[in-house]
Amino acid sequence: MKWLIVASFLAGCASDAPSSIRIPAKVKRSVPEPVREALLRGESLELLSLYPYPKGYDQKLWRERGYDKLARVDDYAVLGTMALDKNQRAKALRAFFDGIQRSDGTVAACFNPRHALRTRHGGAVYDVVICYECLSMIFFRDGKHLGSTTTVKAPGKKLTALLESAGVTRTDQLR
């Protein structure tokens, strides 16, 4: 009986580990394998809040607001970042993968990303730049484009809630 309790406890502790996240077949087809592996097994996972317009969109505004001094992901300014703990990581990845799984391929003609996921794995930096407005995302390894896919809006709300819980600056807070 003692072993059963310990085994049950350990199984419960591992249930939110990223390695226990089930990857649907559609996600396997849509997300390059190195990106999936990095998201699941990377050293850490960060959630980034992005300014949704690239530097070339309005350089004067970028200078006035100081965005040109901020770190960037694919030419989008990083407004803030949060390191996700084990439970937050599992929650974010489940929402992320679910969005891809539920997508019917609909996409709008914009790309105004407000979220990104970043991880380091095997000596490389992986970024997923996500626009929940147009329902698409782009995958990068060390700044090199690896592909793209579509999603649905719902995961954006969950990722925004994580950013809010950490007090990370978001685009909707800017004037």
- What distance in Å separates the CA atoms of residue 102 and residue 1, rounded to the nearest whole number? 42
169: pLDDT strictly greater than 80: yes
pLDDT score at 18: 58
Average the pLDDT over 4-13 and give the result.
Answer: 36
**Residue 175 pLDDT level (bands cut at 50, 70, 90):** low
The DSSP H or E segment spanning 73 is strand 72-73
Average the pLDDT over 15-24 and give the result.
Answer: 66
Q: Coil, helix or strand for 169?
A: coil
* Tokens encoding 175: 């004037």
Average the pLDDT over 128-151 and give the result.
Answer: 97
Residues paired with 2 in a beta bridge: none
Neighbours of 70 (CB within 10 A): 15
Query: In the chain, what percentage of residues exceed pLDDT 70?
Result: 89
pLDDT score at 172: 75
| Average pLDDT of the residues of the chain | 88
pLDDT score at 7: 35
- What distance in Å separates the CA atoms of residue 132 and residue 53, rounded to the nearest whole number? 14
**Residue 117 pLDDT level (bands cut at 50, 70, 90):** very high
Q: What one-character-per-residue DSSP string does 18-70 give?
A: GGG----HHHHHHS-HHHHHHHHHSS-EEEEEE-SS-GGG-HHHHHHHTGGGS
Q: Which residues contact 137 (CB under 8 A, 6 or more apart)?
A: 113, 128, 129, 130, 131, 148, 149, 150, 151
pLDDT, tens digit, 9 for 90 and up, residues 60-109: 988 998 988 999 999 999 999 999 999 999 999 999 999 999 999 999 99
pLDDT, tens digit, 9 for 90 and up, residues 42-51: 999 999 999 9
3: pLDDT strictly greater than 60: no
**Residue 115 pLDDT level (bands cut at 50, 70, 90):** very high
- What distance in Å separates the CA atoms of residue 23 and residue 97, rounded to the nearest whole number? 7
- What distance in Å separates the CA atoms of residue 19 and residue 93, rounded to the nearest whole number? 11
